[in-house]
Structure formats: structure tokens, C-alpha cells
Structure 1
Amino acid sequence: MGFFDFLKGKKDKKVVEIYSPLAGRVIPLEEVPDDAFSQKMIGDGCAIDPAPGAIYAPIDGEIDIFETNHAISVETPSGLELIIHFGVDTVKLNKEGLVRIAENGGVKRGAELVKYDLDLIKSKNYSTKTPIIVTNMDVVESIEVVANGDVNVGDLLMKVTLK
């Protein structure tokens, strides 16, 4: 430790960049019509009101696509844990309108994971607002949602600073 190290502060914080897993309009979690998401009981982040298309890996990591294809958990190499939850109550669709493309395991950012039929899901009166949430907030110092308005797949969505 050098004499002036105290001027530099603590070691540089690790910042993890999360890229948009789907195209659409970025909205605050508070606009998701489910208390568990809107009140940030599960974690923090943002949501996307999706355009037609598919869900893609937002970052390199290990994925687990839920049996019903409505949600995907991601663990990054840095230990950050995310969930992409397509819509609200869409677990009840039991895969209808949600087609798994990828297998569970390691993925690279941008890999296609699940295709969705937006019109079919909306026709069944399900909200398609999709939370992208950091679930292990105990390792997070801050989350900055850097995107607003319309986003495309792969646009920078959030910067997460780890403790």
C-alpha cells in the first residue's frame, strides 16, 4: 500500500453490463401489474414492454429456462443472478406461445433463448410486460438503468455495480 493510496479510495468496483434481452419499450418495474415485481420483492432492475420476437441472453453466463418457458434465470461469471420473466402469470400458459430455442447451461450474450407469440399471449389477456431483475441484491451496490424509451436486442440496458 502506497502512501497516497487513501486518496484513490477503495479498489475499483466491478461493473456488470446487462444488455437488452428483447426489443420493446423500457419501463420502470412499478408499471408491471404484479406486486412481487412492481414492489421489488424479488429484486431490482427494469422491465420491457416487448415488441414481437424472442428473448436473447443479456450477458454471458449459465442459464436455466423454466419448464414452462416463461422465465429464464441467468448467473453471470461474476456471480450476479438475474431473472427474465416474460409477462405476468404467463406460467399458466404452460408453454403455449413460448418456444424454447436454447438448452440450459452456458450461453454467450446474444444467443436466442425463447421465441414468443406476442399476439397469442395478449389475446389470452396476459400482460407481456417483462421484468429483467437482479435477484441477489446482497452483492449489489447500485443499479443504473441506462436505456430508456425503445430498445433493440443487444442495446445496453443496465449497469450493475457490485459491492
Structure 2
Amino acid sequence: MFGFGKKKKEQMIYSPATGRSMPITEVSDEVFSGKMMGDGFAVEPTENAVYAPLKGTVSTVFPTKHAIGITTDKGLEVLVHIGLDTVELDGAPFISKVKEGQEVDQNTQISEMNIADIRQAGYDPTIVIVFTNMDLVKTVPEPQSGEISHSAEIGMLEYNK
């Protein structure tokens, strides 16, 4: 009657950075734009701070610091991939701000990148958010292309169950 004990079937997704948001299909890397790793969206950042796109627990911090995995309480695995092919930079332009097992939300800064250094090295600093286990997801929010601030709402993700 009151919905006690019911788990929410939706979760708000937020922008991980200030910059220009875009659908994942506009990302210049075919692995992401072709949704080979899952669906999601991207932000071309104008500021160095990277925030969690949703509430969850940090499940992975890659040794090269270019990617962070977050798992929601529903088991959804979310990859925050900072820059395209930036694994090649071996962590140099990144400072991780979180540890595995840490609880995060849209106000938690998870990484600091140096956009100028990434561009100077010839790489694209675009941040890609990928929902990797799509079997749990009914609908993924599609961002409007355009300027956005970190922690601004992208839209509601809907779970299957």
C-alpha cells in the first residue's frame, strides 16, 4: 500500500563533467559509438574535474587511472572512461580521487584530469559513460547535445526489474 520494501526501478543519471554532452553514437571511437561495450552517453569536458554519474560503489580504479568502474545497488556496472585511447598515457594526466569500495554519488569528484596535457599528447579528452551489463536495463537516457554542467541531470535510467 505504501510501497515499503519496493525497490525503485529507475535511477537518475547525471553529467560527470562540465562541457558539451552528446549521445554515445557521436563519440569518435567506434568501440563506444558502436555500443560494443554497452549503451551510454559522453561529455566533451571543458573543466578538469570528473564526477560520478550516479549513486553507487566504486568497483574498479584502473591502474592507468583513465577509467573507473561504479556498481549500483541493483548490480548495474557503469564504466566512466576518461578520454579516448588515453590508456596509452599510462596515468600521467590523471589523479584518482576515489578508492575501490568507496560510496559515491553525483557530487563526488572521482578523478582530476589535465585536459591540456591530454590534447597536447594528441588524445581526445571526451568522457564516455557506458552501462556495460545492458541486460539489467530497460531504457537509457539520451542526453540533449549541448552545454551542460557537472551533476546536471541527463535523465532517468529504467531497470528491467
| Structure 1 and Structure 2 fold alike (TM over 0.5) | yes
Letter in 1 for 2:92: E
Decide whether aligned partners of structure 1 residues 57 and 12 sit closer, same or farther in structure 2, where only a CA change above 3 A counts.
Answer: closer
Structure-1-length-normalised TM-score: 0.87
SS at match of 2:28: coil
Cα distance in structure 1, aligned partners of 2:8 and 2:56: 20
Task: Return the match for 1:51 from 24, 46, 50.
Answer: 46
Identity of aligned residues (%): 34
Q: Distance in 2 between matches of 1:147 and 1:76?
A: 24
Name the structure 1 match of 2:126.
129
Amino acid at match of 1:94: D
The alignment covers a number of residue pairs equal to 153
Q: Which residue of 2 aligns with 1:100?
A: 96
Mapped partners of 2:137, 2:8: distance in 1: 10
Question: 2:117 maps to what in 1?
Answer: 120
Question: Equivalents in 1 of 2:7, 2:75: separation in Å?
Answer: 17
1:35 counterpart = 2:30:
yes
Shift of 1:147: 4.5
Alpha-carbon shift at residue 157 of structure 1 (Å): 1.5
Runs of 5+ unmatched residues, structure 2 = 1-5
Counterpart-to-counterpart distance in 2, 1:132 and 1:157 = 11
**Segments of 4+ in structure 1 off by > 3 A?**
none
Instruction: Name which one, 1 or 2, has greater alpha-carbon Rg.
Output: 1
SS in 2 for 1:30: helix
**Cα offset for 1:146?**
4.4
Q: TM-score, normalised by structure 2?
A: 0.88
* Pairing of 1:64-83 with structure 2 (within 5 A): 64-83=60-79
Work out whether residues 41 and 143 of structure 2, in 8 Å CA contact, stay in contact via their aligned partners in 1. Answer: no
Answer whether contact 2:23 2:143 (CA < 8 A) is retained: no
CA-to-aligned-CA distance 1:68-97 (integer Å, 9 cap, x gap): 110111101122211111111100111111
Letter in 2 for 1:58: P
